[in-house]
Structure formats: C-alpha cells, structure tokens
Amino acid sequence: MIFDRFAEGLESLEKTSGRIDLAKGLAILLSELSPDETAKALYMVQGQLMPPFAGEPMGMAGSLLLRAIARALESLNAPLPEVDLKKRLAAIGDPGLLAESLLPPGKRPLVSLAAVYDRLLGISRLSGTGSQDDKILHLSRLLADIAPLSARFVCRFVMGRLRLGVGDATILDALVQTTVSSKGEESAMKAERKRVREELEGAYNLCSDLGRVGAVLREEGLDGIRKIAPMVGYPVRMALCERLGSGEEIIEKIGRAAVESKYDGFRCQIHCGPTGTRLFSRNLEETTSMFPEIARAASELFAGRSAIFEGEALGYDGENDSYHPFQVTITRKRKHNILEKSSEIPLKCLVFDILYLDGVSLMDRPFQERRKILEGLFPVRVRGIADRELPPEGVFGASRLIVTEDPHEVDLFFDEVVEEGFEGVIAKRLDGVYAAGSRNFNWIKLKRSYKSALSDTVDLALIGYYRGKGLRTKLGIGAVLGAVYDAGRGEFQSVARIGSGLTEEGWRDLRGLLEELRTDGPPPGVVSGLVPDFWVRPELVVSVLADELTRSPTHRAGRREGEEEGFALRFPRMVSGPRADKRAEDATTADELRRLYEIQRQRLSGKGEEGG
C-alpha cells in the first residue's frame, strides 16, 4: 500500500467516533494490506513501531521536528525561517497540521507504507554523537517525499501524538471483521464472531503482539492463530486476581485451594532461552537491565534450557534476614546507578508460577502440577502457618503456601502474613490453568476490606504481644493481643490479635511501652485462648476498627456459662496508639460486645432486605 492511501485511512479513522465504527473503518483499511504491511500498520495506528514490550518509542522533541519541517520546506523550494514556523505552531498548536498546511502539494514519488515504516524505524534507532542532526536530515527527506496529508500523520507519529483512539479491543474487533464473512444469518454470524474473537484474544494473550496476530491471521488464517504458543522473549499477558472478602467466601467459591503470601514488590515475568534472559513487568515493559541480579541468577539456573516463570521481587534486608517494605523495594525501580543500588538493596524473587519449560507450554496444566514442577526448580524455604517467612538463601525461592479447604485456616494464614507485614494472601484454584490476560477466580486476592459491617471502633485493653516476624523482625513486635473487660467477672477476655494499623514508628513506641508491663505468665484476671509471646499487665487501651464481629472458639470475649464460643473481631486494625484518657477498665465491655453483635446482625439482615 502506498503510504498516502494509508494516511487517507488514518484521516477517516480520526473522524470516526465510537468503537464499532472505528473497528469497521480499520477492518476496511486492513483488508487492503499484505501480511507484512498488516503488522506495520497495526503498530503504527497505535502510535508505535514495535509491540510495546519491545520498547521502540519515537517521542522526538518538538524543536527537532520543527527543524526537520524547515529543512523539508527548503528542499521543496518553499523556505520559511524557523522563527516564523514557531509563531505559526503557537497559533495552530499541532505540528502535524502545521506541516500539512505548509508543504506544497504536487507530485511526489510513490512511497509505500512499508518504506515509511522502515525509514521511521531507522530514524528511531539513530544514536550517539551527531545522531540528532542525522535524525533531522532523514526526517526532512521523508517529509519532502510524502503528500501533505501523510506529513500530518508522520509528524504526529514521531512526536508520540498520534491519538486515534484505537485500542487493543478495537484492533481485535477489526481483525474479526476481516475474517468472518458479513453474509449469513445474524445469530450464526454473531456466534462465529464471538468464537473468532476469543481465538484471536487468546493468541494475543500468549504473545502480547497484535502486529504478529494480525500478520499471522492474514497469512495463515485461524489455523496459524491456533499455532501461536508462548515463546521465550514474548511476554505472556499476565493472569490477574479477582477479590473476595473472607476465607469462607474463597473456599465456598473454589473449594480446596492453595493459599500464598501476597508479596508487595515488583511482578517479574522471567524468560530464559538460547538468546538470553529477559524480564518483563506487570505492564509488559522490559525490566532486564533494572534487576541485573535476577537476570544473572535466572541465566545460571536455566543455562542450556528454556523457561518462562513468574515471581515477585522484593528488596532484601540482610541485617535482619527479612524483606524491606515496598517503599524501600521501589527505590530499585530506576534507570541510573543500578549496580550501586543493587548492592545496597539486593532483590530476592519469590517464584509463584511457571508457564513454560524446555519447549513445552505448561499454561494449560492444573496449578497443582505447575507448582510441583516449580518446587523441583526453586527451593522451598518455608511452609505452613506457623513458620515465619524466611527469605531464600539465593535469589530465587518458591512462594510460601498452604493447601487447605478450611476457611478458618485461610483466615489464620491471612492473619499470620499480615502480622508479618505482608499485604494479604492470594488463593489459587488447584486445578486452575494459567489464565493469561484475564481476571477470574482462578486467583483470588484477600486483602483487608475497608467496608466494615462493624462501623464503630472498640477500645481494647492490651494483654500481650507477639515478637515481630518477617518485615517486622527488627521492630521486635508484630501484633498485640487485645481484650474486652467483663465487669461482672472482673476479667479481661481476649477478642483479637491485631497486627496492623500503626506506622513503623508507632509499633516501635508501643513495644517500648509494653516492655515495661511484661509479666511472667498471664496476669491475674486475664483470660485468653491464645498465648502471646509476652504477657503484659492490662494497662494500655487502644482503639480498634474491624470488619466484623464473629463467633469464635479461640477467643473468650463475652462467652457465657455453657457456651463453647466467644466473640472475635475479624480483620482488626488499630486506629490509634495507646489512649491516655482510658484506663484498662474503661475498655469496651463484654456486654457492649454482645450488643454490637446484635446491631451488626440487624444491620446485615436489614441490608439483605434492601438488596433483595
């Protein structure tokens, strides 16, 4: 296709609004292209020269472009001083329209779409001394060779301002239209379009390259699309999580599940193969050079083999054999001083999935099977609820998980990891495939919900505390044990283990105060089903917000004669440090707790009626 015809197509897309019409217009344009041109055109309508993960941004500065336009005008015997150009640009605002209005119409050589693409790619790859002048020269020649309308789009393109509103979904819709005939019975065609759309999207999810999908479709049809498989060097679009609010909801939804710590760092999809190792981020940008220790370790581990696997990279705190919080880990996201920073904050990578190994895709295998393979490749340092999350000795380790069908165990694991300073947990369906590019219930994240059924805070007397683990090791405190007061019995009854809500400084201060109150064994009048690492005299009171009050066999709060269960707070977090205005006996009472439970029950059933 001649580029000028392509530019006409772009102009009509520019005038189109609405995704359906955009897809129709694009389908018409695509149907005139060869397979090779299809890939190039698809990159270009998205303002790129390559798929986004290949990182070939043009983003030329406006001043360079103006100089190129000035030079093109000169070569076409229509010179205009740069100052005038600047004034006109200030009035028009768009360098594309400026070039179009100034370049004289008239006969030009016929330049193909592929040639313009190749010339732009050549310009984008010029680097080093003198490259700016070369860029101006080559761009000015290109502008002089194409029609004014074409120049409009080339100028916008090189500045990264070609905004046609054509997204991934529109391209997929357009590709469907180039394949499915529009003649036939409407319902059959609709079903066919849906089927083809799914196939194309599936292929796109595997290679993240719409240009490739378009070219293969054009050349080999759907048979070719079905052959697209994960390939080292092409990021797989990442599987995402749904969310649910409790262990109970999770188990109800997916049954027996693997539940993993949810690490808060950088997601890395790591590709190893004969051409080397490459890392990709959650947004499919290449991050290989940013995280050299991960790339090196992966190359060593998979020397002579090929693999695609995923993990979360976390900053490692060697002093405490623990991880850094996200605010520290994020300082590794940088383009300069990478080596210095990597020795200051080295990374560990907790591997949670493997998608491909030695030429074989594992994506359709059940999670359990992929996990088994993963555990054969990466060391498992910790398992289960009671173990603290010990970082792997080398760069890589398998993520920590439990396998359970007991909702209570999910919640316990959740409490444990939150107490260690992690974000929450991710539950995975044991027979789930790796669902590239989609968000479904194969993976479910459980973070603290801020939608409380229990909107009031409660004031709890602190009766004990736990040593810090994981990220909290160096603070020496990971959680506290809180109690309500039963005035009738003169007892402090445990109601929650609270591991969140304070800043690092807040935790440190609280530990200082609690240390002063330590006792050997439970102080008189303290009743608890849990045994903290340290008991303390009940003197400090903190305000706590929770999502819900539940019945619990573990906690003793509000338990009446003959009852098996007390009350417990779900997802508790402190909203204040110790309150100077309250004594331990001023804490929320066991009776108040019962009343709160009743209010919550009524609110929840009231909500149910409204909703129903």
Stretch 190-229 residues interacting with ligand ATP (CB under 6 A): none
Dihedral (CA of 412, 418, 421, 426) sign: positive
- Pick between residue 442 and residue 600 the one whose CB is nearest to ligand ATP: 442
Q: Give the up-direction half-sphere exposure of residue 302: CA atoms within 13 A in the CB hemisphere.
A: 29
- Pick between residue 161 and residue 282 the one whose CB is nearest to ligand ATP: 282
- The Cα 389–Cα 383 span in angstroms is 8
- The Cα 365–Cα 369 span in angstroms is 6
Stretch 367-406 residues interacting with ligand ATP (CB under 6 A): 399
Whether 372 sits among the annotated catalytic residues: the reply is: no
**Contact with ligand ATP (CB under 6 A) among 199, 201, 260, 411:** 260
Q: Is residue 267 at the binding interface for ligand ATP, with CB under 6 A as the rule?
A: yes
Q: Is residue 270 at the binding interface for ligand ATP, with CB under 6 A as the rule?
A: no
In whole angstroms, how close is the CB of 235 to ligand ATP at the nearest point?
A: 13
Q: How far is CA 181 from CA 184, 191, 605, in A?
A: 8, 12, 53
- The Cα 290–Cα 279 span in angstroms is 9
- The Cα 573–Cα 84 span in angstroms is 64
- Pick between residue 145 and residue 415 the one whose CB is nearest to ligand ATP: 415
**Contact with ligand ATP (CB under 6 A) among 426, 514, 540, 569:** 426
3-class DSSP state of 16: coil
- Pick between residue 11 and residue 242 the one whose CB is nearest to ligand ATP: 242
- Pick between residue 426 and residue 593 the one whose CB is nearest to ligand ATP: 426
Binding part of the chain for ligand ATP, among 1-9, 102-110, 259-267, 509-517 by CB under 6 A, reads 259-267
Q: Is residue 312 at the binding interface for ligand ATP, with CB under 6 A as the rule?
A: yes
Binding part of the chain for ligand ATP, among 26-34, 82-90, 117-125, 262-270 by CB under 6 A, reads 262-270
3-class DSSP state of 181: coil
Beta strands 526-527; 518-519: pairing state: unpaired
In whole angstroms, how close is the CB of 265 to ligand ATP at the nearest point?
A: 7
Q: E-strand spans in 32-101?
A: none
- Closest to 199 (Cα-Cα) out of 218, 181, 217: 217
- Closest to 476 (Cα-Cα) out of 517, 531, 533: 533
Q: Which two structure tokens, joined as six digits, stand for 80?
A: 């205009």
Q: Is residue 282 at the binding interface for ligand ATP, with CB under 6 A as the rule?
A: yes
**Contact with ligand ATP (CB under 6 A) among 241, 357, 483, 502:** 241
- Pick between residue 3 and residue 309 the one whose CB is nearest to ligand ATP: 309
Q: E-strand spans in 112-265?
A: 240-243, 257-262
Q: Is residue 410 at the binding interface for ligand ATP, with CB under 6 A as the rule?
A: no
- The Cα 100–Cα 148 span in angstroms is 4
CB nearest ligand ATP: which residue?
267
- Pick between residue 299 and residue 440 the one whose CB is nearest to ligand ATP: 440
- The Cα 5–Cα 114 span in angstroms is 12
In whole angstroms, how close is the CB of 242 to ligand ATP at the nearest point?
A: 9
Helices 19-30 and 3-14: crossing angle, nearest 10°? Answer: 170
3-class DSSP state of 592: helix
The distance from CA 310 to its chain's CA centroid, rounded to whole angstroms, is: 12
In whole angstroms, how close is the CB of 246 to ligand ATP at the nearest point?
A: 17
- Closest to 201 (Cα-Cα) out of 181, 176, 220: 176
The distance from CA 273 to its chain's CA centroid, rounded to whole angstroms, is: 25
- Pick between residue 88 and residue 445 the one whose CB is nearest to ligand ATP: 445
Binding part of the chain for ligand ATP, among 193-201, 258-266, 408-416, 511-519 by CB under 6 A, reads 258-266
In whole angstroms, how close is the CB of 445 to ligand ATP at the nearest point?
A: 5
- The Cα 539–Cα 536 span in angstroms is 8
- Residue count at the site for ligand ATP (CB under 6 A)? 12
3-class DSSP state of 48: coil
- Closest to 299 (Cα-Cα) out of 166, 395, 208: 395
Binding part of the chain for ligand ATP, among 127-135, 215-223, 256-264, 573-581 by CB under 6 A, reads 256-264
Q: Is residue 262 at the binding interface for ligand ATP, with CB under 6 A as the rule?
A: yes
Q: Is residue 551 at the binding interface for ligand ATP, with CB under 6 A as the rule?
A: no
The total number of residues shown for the chain amounts to 612
- Of 40, 262, 348, 428, which residue is the catalytic one? 262
- Pick between residue 204 and residue 352 the one whose CB is nearest to ligand ATP: 352
Buried b (16+ CB within 10 A) or exposed e, 439-473: eebbbbbbbbbeeebbeebbbbbbbbbbbbbbbbb
Binding part of the chain for ligand ATP, among 43-51, 257-265, 330-338, 361-369 by CB under 6 A, reads 257-265
Site string for ligand ATP, 430-459 (x = CB under 6 A): ---------------x--------------
Q: Is residue 352 at the binding interface for ligand ATP, with CB under 6 A as the rule?
A: yes
- Pick between residue 427 and residue 527 the one whose CB is nearest to ligand ATP: 427
Beta strands 458-466; 541-545: pairing state: antiparallel
In whole angstroms, how close is the CB of 378 to ligand ATP at the nearest point?
A: 13
In whole angstroms, how close is the CB of 264 to ligand ATP at the nearest point?
A: 7
Residues annotated as part of the active site: 262
Binding site for ligand ATP (CB under 6 A): 240-241, 260, 262-263, 267, 282, 312, 352, 399, 426, 445
